[in-house]
Amino acid sequence: MTETVPGLLRGRPADHGADLREGRAARRSGDHGPGRSVDGGAFRRALAVHAAGVVVITAQSGGVPAGMTATSFSSVSLDPPLVAFYVDQDSTTWPRLRAADHFAVNILGSDQAELAARFAGRGVDRFAAPTRWSPGPLGAPLLRDVSAHLVCLPYETTAVGDHILVVGLVAEAVVHGPGRPLLYHQGRFGRFIPHP
């Protein structure tokens, strides 16, 4: 199932995905053959070994800022410049991100583990102090002291399993710092140590 996000949409490619979508529908319904998918524990343990950079996705919806921590962020395409992340279908942040006409990707630095934890927690105002932020060029909140930020226009969303793939066309990319990254590995935040 491919769905178009309301709001700005530019340069979307032609739809070549009918066969693939049929395959996706079969997989979502669990029709992927006996013994073909790994059990949940082994899946989680293997993925925990994969270190990932940490971002906070932010948007402004109805005048209210929204944001969530994500490690599923990645680059997708150079031409056009596309990035993507995956959001849980049960996320309470997703409806507000979806309603926004653009979003920002805040790439966190190595000393921003507390900020990452705040934007993953429930029952807190993620944008209240000590979070420091200001509206970006199109309105989406930009977090202070991040390594870099991207401002993205909605390009495509696709339901994949229990998550939604969100692809954005990058309208602005600004590097603020040396880029020492915040990493997430085995359930913990950490730092990158380069080889000498």
Ligand X SMILES: Cc1cc2nc3c(=O)[nH]c(=O)nc-3n(C[C@H](O)[C@H](O)[C@H](O)COP(=O)(O)O)c2cc1C
Q: What residues contact 23, with CB distance under 8 A and at least 6 apart?
A: none
Query: CA-CA distance, 107 to 99, in Å (whole number)?
Result: 22
Are the beta carbons of 152 and 105 closer than 8 angstroms?
yes
CB of 117 to ligand X, least distance (A): 7
Residue 63, both tokens: 């005048």
Query: CA-CA distance, 94 to 100, in Å (whole number)?
Result: 10
CB of 56 to ligand X, least distance (A): 8
- Determine which residue in the list 58, 82, 86, 154 makes contact with ligand X, applying CB under 6 A: 86
Are the beta carbons of 116 and 69 closer than 8 angstroms?
yes
- Binders of ligand X among residues 25 to 54 (CB under 6 A) are 54
- Binders of ligand X among residues 92 to 131 (CB under 6 A) are 92-93, 116, 120, 122
* DSSP H/E element including 19: helix 18-28
String of contacts with ligand X for each residue 130-169, x by CB under 6 A: ----------------------------------------
Residue with Cβ nearer ligand X (67 or 136): 67
47: how many CB neighbours lie within 10 A of its CB? 10
Binding window for ligand X (CB under 6 A); candidates: 21-29, 33-41, 65-73, 128-136: 65-73
Q: What residues contact 21, with CB distance under 8 A and at least 6 apart?
A: 1, 2
| Placement of tokens 């031409």 in the chain | 79
- Determine which residue in the list 77, 91, 139, 159 makes contact with ligand X, applying CB under 6 A: 91
CB of 160 to ligand X, least distance (A): 12
- Assess 83 for contact with ligand X (CB under 6 A): no
Residue with Cβ nearer ligand X (73 or 155): 73
Query: CA-CA distance, 61 to 9, in Å (whole number)?
Result: 17
Could you give phi then psi for residue 165, rounded to 5 degrees? -80, 125
CB of 14 to ligand X, least distance (A): 28
Residue with Cβ nearer ligand X (9 or 165): 165
- Assess 88 for contact with ligand X (CB under 6 A): yes
Residues in touch with ligand X (CB under 6 A): 54, 68-72, 85-88, 91-93, 116, 120, 122, 184
